[in-house]
């Protein structure tokens, strides 16, 4: 891949990721995309914000990739990933060069920040995102458009469904299944399976409500 465009001009961590990748790879980052029209034509920590979905057809090519950086909502992450592809963009991975991906199966459009630890035989679905210091232990399987927040820990052999949001410092104990579009609250300790769309909080985690259906 020669060039990568990043969708989401919101976090300065993006700039550190770009600098780290460029220090170890010849890939270029010509600019950012954002669907907030107020940001178009501005600079984000020195990187130009070129436009939204509408500019993707003119940028796309066989050696050009796109990554969604959206993290606040897994539904929004799903929508932006699909929006990039619908506009003709190719989803590619942006992974901090210090992250060990040996014996890890990677989908497309994955964004992984520094300090993340991935165990052997982990499988990451398309458009998933894992942030600073999180742990995904051996033989876990993550679905599409999953978000794992900083310092969260998913123990071994867990099954994480599509669109799951795992909050800061949350812990998921081994061999559990987290249903599609579930939300694990910050600091929660999950000790049993979580059904689709459930929102769980606390230690031990308990269901407090259900998300609206997103699938």
Question: Is-contact 1 67, C-beta < 8 A?
Answer: no
**Rounded distance between C-alpha atoms, residue 9 and residue 173, angstroms:** 34
Question: Is-contact 205 185, C-beta < 8 A?
Answer: yes
Torsion from C-alpha of 124, 130, 135, 137, nearest 10 degrees: -10
**Rounded distance between C-alpha atoms, residue 111 and residue 102, angstroms:** 16
The verdict on whether 40 is a catalytic residue reads no
The DSSP bridge partners found for residue 23 are: none
Catalytic residue among 40, 96, 138, 197: 138
**Could you tell me the end-to-end alpha-carbon distance of the chain, in angstroms, rounded to an integer?**
32
The DSSP bridge partners found for residue 147 are: 129, 165
DSSP label of 109: S
- How many other β-carbons are positioned within 10 Å of the β-carbon of residue 100? 12
- Residues annotated catalytic, as ranges: 138
């Amino acid at each position: 891949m020669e060039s990568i465009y990043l969708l989401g001009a919101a976090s300065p961590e993006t700039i550190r990721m770009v600098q780290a990748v460029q220090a170890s790879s010849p890939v270029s980052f010509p600019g950012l995309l954002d669907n907030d029209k107020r940001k178009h034509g501005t600079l984000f920590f020195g990187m130009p914000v070129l436009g939204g979905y509408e500019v993707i057809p003119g940028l796309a090519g066989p050696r050009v990739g796109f990554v969604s950086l959206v993290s606040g909502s897994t539904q929004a992450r799903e929508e932006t990933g699909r929006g990039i592809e619908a506009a003709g963009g190719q989803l590619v991975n942006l992974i901090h060069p210090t992250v060990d991906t040996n014996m890890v199966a990677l989908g497309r459009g994955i964004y992984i920040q520094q300090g993340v630890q991935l165990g052997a035989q982990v499988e990451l679905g398309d458009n998933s995102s894992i942030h600073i210091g999180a742990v995904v232990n051996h033989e876990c399987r993550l679905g599409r458009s999953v978000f794992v927040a900083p310092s969260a820990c998913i123990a071994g052999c867990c099954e994480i469904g599509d669109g799951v949001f795992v909050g800061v410092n949350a812990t998921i104990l081994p061999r559990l299944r987290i249903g599609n579009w579930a939300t694990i609250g910050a600091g929660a300790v999950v000790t049993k399976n979580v059904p689709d769309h459930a929102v769980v909080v606390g230690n031990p985690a308990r269901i407090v409500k259900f998300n609206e259906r997103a699938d």
